[in-house]
Structure 1
Amino acid sequence: MAIGVGLNALFVSVELGTGWWAGSLALLADAGHNAGDVVGLLLAWGAHALAQRPPTRRYTWGFRRSTIYAALFNSLLLLAGCGAILWEAVHRMRTPVPTIGVAMIAVAAAGVVINTLTALLFMRGRKHDANLRAAFLHMAADAAVSAGVVVAGIVIVLTGWTWVDPVVGMLVAIVIIVGTWDLFRESIDLAIDAVPRGINTEEVTKILAGIPGVAAVHNLHCWSVSTAEKALTVHLIVPEATEHQRVLEEASAQLQQYVSINHTTIQIASAASHEQRDRS
């Protein structure tokens, strides 16, 4: 992750300077997006480091949820940046500004290479961690956006149509919004303890109810501890006390195998004790 941060921070500096000198909103928009990604990578890096710290007496879960808040802040930062890009693009549509197409092409082409290399760094862990998946998708999208800026530069050089620059800036912002919106929604869900994506509580209930000896399934709760870990609590009614240990072991194995839940708390009780507790 340090390599990705370093490469992108260097490229943002070059892109901002060139975009300002060339008067290119498309380059400035892409630089703003890349700057947001650098901040996002730093947040993800810091949150990942915090998540590795062991639990304490006060923070019994450790600091795993910091990865969730990092993803949420990252998505909010990107959406705010897009609003600023769209505002400036509308202004430039009304009052065109001369741009230097050759500079746009050269810097954006370098961006395609750097963003692609950075995206490749996150390929391995993207399937199991929402934080890394978000980083990978952002970097891949950046490569595509930079390619769009290259096209805009070529059009300006060949035709002199300066209005292409703010149009591309608007398209960049729209692409970012579309790509970020799903991350924003997922981050909100994670922050308010919604059921993690990919887990169907009805299917989980069927799996647990299908274990021999289980009479009923109650109080099933599932949420995300971090962007990569899930937790579940459930109350199983098992009338035969001699079956409790077997059911506990089988339920734990089923949850790990079919829904990949990292932390499970399973309470088992006989029907009689459950009814007695309900009456009390």
Structure 2
Amino acid sequence: MSNRELAAWHEDHSFGQDQKKPGESRTIVVIAITVAMMVIEIVAGRLYESMALLADGLHMASHAAALTISVFAYIYARRYAHDACYSFGTGKVNALGGFAGALLLGIFSLMMVWESVHRILDPAEISFNQAILVAAIGLVVNAICATVLGHTHDHGDGSSCSHGHDHNLKAAYMHVLADALTSVLAIVALLAGKFWGWAILDPIIGIVGAIVVAKWSVGLLRSTSDVLLDRQATDLVLDRIRDAIEDDDHDVVDLHVWSIGPGLYATEIIIVSSNPVSPGDFKKMLPDDLSIAHAAVEVHQREDVPASAI
């Protein structure tokens, strides 16, 4: 067989990762907005002695860094999509970017707690009017960023693995939500301090916000680590594959399904059959909506397999 004929059988393992993702351009826009507001809030927090406002600004700094990591992941995945060093393309770079963003969420939640505790032990006079104005502007900016990103969550219908979404985009969206949360909490704390004299509420609210952000961080760490560690797909997905293949003649004796990128999965299947067909025929039986981009199918004649191996 000629090289040209062999090339026709070669399978492209980029799986579309060489295409620019919609989340990349949106994330760049959000970075520019976030950096501008970050500088305003940090300066204002120092000038007006508001821990809640300063925490919001520092949080935006962490998000700007995390969003930059997300953009780098998009660019890297696209640039090296066809690199033969990556067995299943660069789709997992997306999850790696999300994992890094989740770590930053966790680190800066600890920083928020540290600063808040320091303010409880060493209170400072707060310029409430100016701080409230800046926090309100920050909330509006966060709402704009959330709209730009336009991230939607999984529908949970079981049609795909639990880690099938764009983790880069999810990490970026969660950072924006965390910003919005700290802005809301800052406004509440500042209003309480201004009208009722509850200045202590400012650092306490900072701690509450840090706890919520830390919880989000843990959730994102779990979902991204599932992808990075090739966690098996849900039982529902595995059962659908078995139902599509198994009958009186065919039995699936070994099955693995794992994520190789946002909404993309690979599978390895070993089938024992008393009336075997080609691996290609078995691949055609796989449900299209499971988004299986790569399938390796091994077929054995039933009598050729030792009974102990079945």
**Which TM-score bucket, shorter chain as reference?**
0.7 to 0.9
> Which amino acid in structure 1 is aligned with residue 252 of structure 2?
V
Does the CA-based 8 Å contact 1:130-1:228 persist in structure 2?
no
Match of 2:110 in 1: 83
Q: 1:112 aligned to 2:139?
A: yes
Letter in 2 for 1:185: R
Are the equivalent residues in 1 in contact too, given 2:55–2:112 (CA < 8 A)? yes
Aligned counterpart, 1:147 = 184
The residue identity in structure 2 corresponding to 1:221 is H
* Aligned residue in 1 for 2:76: 50
Amino acid at match of 1:166: P
Q: Is the 8 A contact 1:82 1:177 kept in 2?
A: yes
Task: State the match for 2:100 in structure 1.
Answer: 73
Match of 2:89 in 1: 62
1:11-53 superposed Cα distances (whole Å, 9 cap, x missing partner):
1111111111111111121122211111111111111122223
Following superposition, the deviation at residue 209 of structure 1 comes to 4.5
Task: Measure, in 2, the Cα distance between the counterparts of 1:26 and 1:98.
Answer: 13
1:159-201 per-residue CA deviation (whole Å, 9 max, x = no partner) reads: 23321110111111112112222101112222222125x5645
Post-superposition offset of 1:2: 1.3
SS in 2 for 1:52: helix
Moved more, 46-55 or 11-20: 46-55
Please give the alpha-carbon distance, in whole angstroms, between the structure 2 residues aligned to 1:118 and 1:174: 23
Query: Of residues 262, 265, 269 in structure 2, which corresponds to 1:234?
Result: 269
Alpha carbons of 1:175 and 1:276: their partners in 2 closer, same or farther (altered >3 Å)?
Answer: closer
Change (3 A) 1:172 1:4: same
Give unmatched runs, 5+ long, in structure 2: 1-26, 155-164
Q: Which position in structure 1 is the counterpart of 2:39?
A: 13
Instruction: Return the match for 1:261 from 278, 281, 292.
Output: 292
Contact 1:122–1:133, Cα closer than 8 Å, also in 2: no
1: distance between equivalents of 2:49 and 2:235?
48
User: Does the Cα contact within 8 Å between 1:90 and 1:166 map onto a contact in 2?
Assistant: yes
Query: Which of 98, 116, 120 matches 2:125?
Result: 98
Q: Deviations over 1:65-87 (max 9, x none)?
A: 22222111111111111112212
Range moving further from structure 2, 261-270 or 109-118: 261-270
Residue 250 (structure 1) shift: 1.3
Letter in 2 for 1:109: A
- Tell me if the contact between 1:44 and 1:70 (Cα under 8 Å) persists in the aligned partners: yes
Looking at structure 2, the residues matched to 242 and 153 of structure 1 have their Cα atoms a distance apart, in angstroms, of: 71
Rounded to whole Å, the distance in 1 between the matches of 2:147 and 2:86 is 34
User: What root-mean-square deviation, in Å, do the aligned CA atoms of Structure 1 and Structure 2 show?
Assistant: 2.5
How far apart are residue 141 of structure 1 and its match?
A: 3.5
1:157 matched residue in structure 2: 194
**Cα 1:190–1:208 shift into 2, 3 Å:** same
Unaligned runs of 5+ in 1: none
Q: 1:219-246 CA distances to partner (integer Å, 9 max, x unpaired)?
A: 2112222344322211122322346543
Matched to 1:132, the amino acid is L
Describe the shift of the 1:218–1:49 C-alpha distance in structure 2 as closer, same or farther (beyond 3 A).
farther
Residues 125, 214 of structure 1: alpha-carbon distance in 2 compared, 3 angstrom cutoff = farther
- Aligned partners of 1:244, 1:59: CA distance in 2, in Å? 24
> For the Cα contact (< 8 Å) 2:271–2:300, is it kept in 1?
yes
Secondary structure of 1:4 counterpart: helix
Q: Residue 216 of structure 2: which of 169, 179, 182 is its match?
A: 179
- Give TM-score scaled by structure 1 length: 0.86
Counterpart-to-counterpart distance in 2, 1:76 and 1:84: 13
Deviation of the 1:10 alpha carbon: 0.6
Distance 1:2 1:63, change over 3 A: same
Change (3 A) 1:205 1:63: closer
The answer as to 2:233 corresponding to 1:207 is no
Q: Which residue of 1 aligns with 2:174?
A: 137
Moved more, 6-15 or 68-77: 68-77
Contact 1:12 1:34 in 2 (8 A): yes
Change (3 A) 1:243 1:82: closer
Work out the percentage of aligned pairs sharing the same amino acid: 25
Query: How many angstroms does 1:124 deviate by?
Result: 5.2
CA distance in 2, matches of 1:113, 1:265: 50
